[in-house]
């Protein structure tokens, strides 16, 4: 019986080590998005213990832009928005390219809009599924990722109610590996 317990314990340790997908533990950097609620954000990503699960936190800003850029995102927007988002991600390695893994998950975002127009000013809350790819360079402490976050606003300031679903909301992140 004792031998069976020891063998099962060793097998469990081997199995859990073989499914650990992380190539790094935590990283900090910058995320650049398409600008629905954050154009630039500070980004922190950490893997939960030795599992394939990660938590990503972003604190971002969408600055006001009073110029016509030809882009639907930055085109004549006098409102400034700050946001906080958190997401859970499950990572799966792509074995053909070491360091590359795709992920899927979901999260939430909390926003605050600053505007001279009181109908735009206020707090908003949204939910989003997320998916993308994450690559950790082998020889340098850098991880990059791309993601998509189609966001559904649960509540928002009055004038935002006409646009409660944002698709697509793409992002690109570059993060320095802390450990």
What's the pLDDT at 88? 97
pLDDT reported for residue 118: 72
- Per the domain annotation, does 77 fall within a domain? yes
CATH code at position 170: 2.40.160.20
* pLDDT given for residue 5 in this prediction: 41
Print the domain residue range for 43.
21-177
Q: Which residues of the chain have pLDDT under 70?
A: 1-22, 66-77, 158-163
Number of domains in the chain: 1
Q: Is residue 7 part of a domain?
A: no
Answer yes or no: is 131 within a domain: yes
Q: In this structure, what DSSP letter does residue 73 have?
A: T
**165 within some domain:** yes
Question: Percentage helix, strand, coil, to 5, in the chain?
Answer: 15, 55, 35
Question: CA Rg, the chain, in Å?
Answer: 20
Quick check: is 14 in a domain?
no
| Residue 75, domain member (yes or no) | yes
pLDDT for residue 72: 46
> 13 lies in a domain?
no
pLDDT confidence of residue 12: 40
Task: Return the pLDDT at 165.
Answer: 72
Let me know: does 83 contact 110? Beta carbons within 8 Å.
yes
Please check whether residue 6 lies inside any domain of the structure: no
Q: What is the pLDDT of residue 105?
A: 97
Contact call for residues 62 and 84 (beta carbons, < 8 A): no
């Amino acid at each position: 019986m004792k031998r069976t317990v020891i063998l099962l314990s060793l097998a469990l340790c081997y199995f859990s080590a073989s499914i650990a997908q992380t190539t790094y533990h935590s990283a900090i950097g910058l995320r650049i998005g398409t600008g629905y609620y954050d154009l630039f954000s500070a980004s922190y990503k950490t893997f939960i213990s030795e599992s394939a699960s990660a938590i990503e936190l972003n604190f971002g800003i969408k600055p006001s832009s009073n110029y016509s850029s030809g882009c639907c995102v930055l085109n004549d927007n006098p409102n400034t928005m700050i946001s906080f988002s958190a997401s859970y991600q499950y990572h799966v390695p792509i074995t053909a390219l070491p360091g590359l893994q795709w992920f899927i998950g979901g999260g939430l975002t909390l926003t605050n809009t600053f505007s001279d127009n009181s109908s735009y000013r206020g707090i908003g809350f949204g939910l989003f599924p997320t998916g993308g790819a994450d690559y950790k360079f082998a020889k340098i402490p850098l991880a990059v990722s791309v993601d998509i976050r189609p966001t559904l606003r649960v509540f928002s300031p009055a004038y935002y109610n006409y646009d409660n679903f944002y698709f697509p909301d793409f992002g690109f992140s570059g993060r320095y590996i802390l450990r």
